[in-house]
Amino acid sequence: MQSYIIKGGEKLEGEVEASGSKNSSLPILAAAILNRGKTILENVPNIHDTKIMLDIIKLLGCEIEEDGNRVIIDSSSIENYEIPDELMRQMRSSVILAGAILARCKKATFSYPGGCDIGARPIDLHLKSFKTLGINILEENGEIFCDSENMTDGVVTLDFPSVGATENIILAATLSGKTIYIRNAAMEPEIVDLQNFINKLGGNVLGAGTKDIKIVGTKSLQKNIEYKIMPDRIEIGTLMCASAITKGNIKIKNVKIEHILPIVYKLEEMGCEITLKDDDITVIAKNRMKACNIKTMPYPGFPTDMQPIIATVLGVSKGTSIIVENIFENRYKYLAELKRMGAKVTIEGRTAIIKGIKKYNSAKVEATDLRGGAALILAGLNASGKTIISNIGYILRGYENIDKKIRKLGGNIYTREGE
């Protein structure tokens, strides 16, 4: 098992480039299955989750070529329509492949993804939406068998603006030959990226980024296309917070400001000086941050994925902050590790009350999940002394070369095998 060894106390200063978005790459890799031609994707982050997704689409019959952050997918002949159970369990979000496989093969077999480190992660909204559209679903011993031969035109109204369910419906609808509307759709930028990819492929999706999406499904799509994945707004937010927690001065290149406005506003409220020039954002933290309150909400509200990360900055800010996690029911596990570094936190249900301390104490801690693990890196950078973070496999799922990026900014972080 790998660990990070961090010798904290350094200010992070300099320039760094954001990687491509994990949460946009995954649905677009699934969408490549819709194409009978060749898809070239640029800016795909080299992380564990994209590797799993590529393993699955290889098993379905696609030819894959990888060259750094470029992925070439030839999905002219898809033979298999089953997502293997062990890969479903490794990555819950592989459920969005179901929509793409259904579109292409008219059948899909997959298992219940099961809960994970931040909550139950049910897929009831996905299945309910499929049923509304005439997709036949049989569930037996944890396996789900879908068939979309009798798919109909329809309107799906989501009880909750689920990102994955919105993506799954768009994918299933694209080759259905039907006209499908989604009401109360998720509005995240990753949905817009998916729409842009599908439309470049020759599909017809309208309204992504709003609550109302219309898909005019066609019978098949075949085009050799190139597409560049959008930058990762959560990695960018993480690097912004790394500046805030080390009184740093960081310029992050390749940013889409409209994707990160809620993070910008909060960090400005906490005392950061933030400037933007072209696609570069500079975050300067001259002094210790001030406390502020956070409520996570669906986009364009404050993103839940940034909750552990900004909470860690608030843990060493002046004053008391109140955080309400409205999206996932179990996203405070990292706080137990942060308490080992001195954090003063009480949790009441979905609310965390954080009383700022001057500085974290270095300690031996364990990553509990992807974003909670990234939060511990920031705490280690703030603490003087040596912090060891074990279980960093969680972090490697969603951050490309995060240790290299931090070293480039003057941080002292190294990977050690075996801890």
Q: Does 265 bind ligand EPZ (CB under 6 A)?
A: no
Least Cβ distance, residue 10 to ligand EPZ (angstroms): 27
Stretch that binds ligand EPZ, among 163-171, 194-202, 222-230, 273-281 (CB under 6 A): 163-171
Using Cβ positions, the residue closest to ligand EPZ within the complex turns out to be 164
Of the candidates 212, 162, 218, the one whose C-alpha atom is nearest the C-alpha of residue 190 is 162
Q: Does 125 bind ligand EPZ (CB under 6 A)?
A: yes
Binders of ligand EPZ among residues 285 to 324 (CB under 6 A) are: 304-305
Least Cβ distance, residue 371 to ligand EPZ (angstroms): 5
Q: Does 258 bind ligand EPZ (CB under 6 A)?
A: no
Binders of ligand EPZ among residues 180 to 199 (CB under 6 A) are: 186
Q: Does 43 bind ligand EPZ (CB under 6 A)?
A: no
Stretch that binds ligand EPZ, among 124-132, 222-230, 253-261, 341-349 (CB under 6 A): 124-132
CA pair distance 21, 26, nearest whole angstrom:
9
Catalytic residue, chosen from 116, 146, 241, 272, is 116
Q: Which of 53, 57, 165, 341 binds ligand EPZ (CB under 6 A)?
A: 165
What angle in degrees, to the nearest 10, is found between the helix axes of 22-31 and 189-200?
30
Q: Does 331 bind ligand EPZ (CB under 6 A)?
A: no
Q: Does 381 bind ligand EPZ (CB under 6 A)?
A: no
Please identify, using beta-carbon distances, which residue of 186 and 377 lies nearer to ligand EPZ. Answer: 186
Site string for ligand EPZ, 397-416 (x = CB under 6 A): -x------------------
Cα angle 121, 26, 299; round to 5: 65
Q: Which of 164, 189, 237, 315 binds ligand EPZ (CB under 6 A)?
A: 164
Least Cβ distance, residue 20 to ligand EPZ (angstroms): 13
Q: Does 124 bind ligand EPZ (CB under 6 A)?
A: yes
Please identify, using beta-carbon distances, which residue of 125 and 173 lies nearer to ligand EPZ. Answer: 125
Q: Which of 43, 93, 368, 387 binds ligand EPZ (CB under 6 A)?
A: 93
116 is catalytic: yes
Q: By CB under 6 A, name the binding residues for ligand EPZ.
A: 22-23, 26, 93, 119-126, 160, 162-165, 186, 304-305, 327-328, 370-371, 398
Which residues are catalytic, by number?
Answer: 116
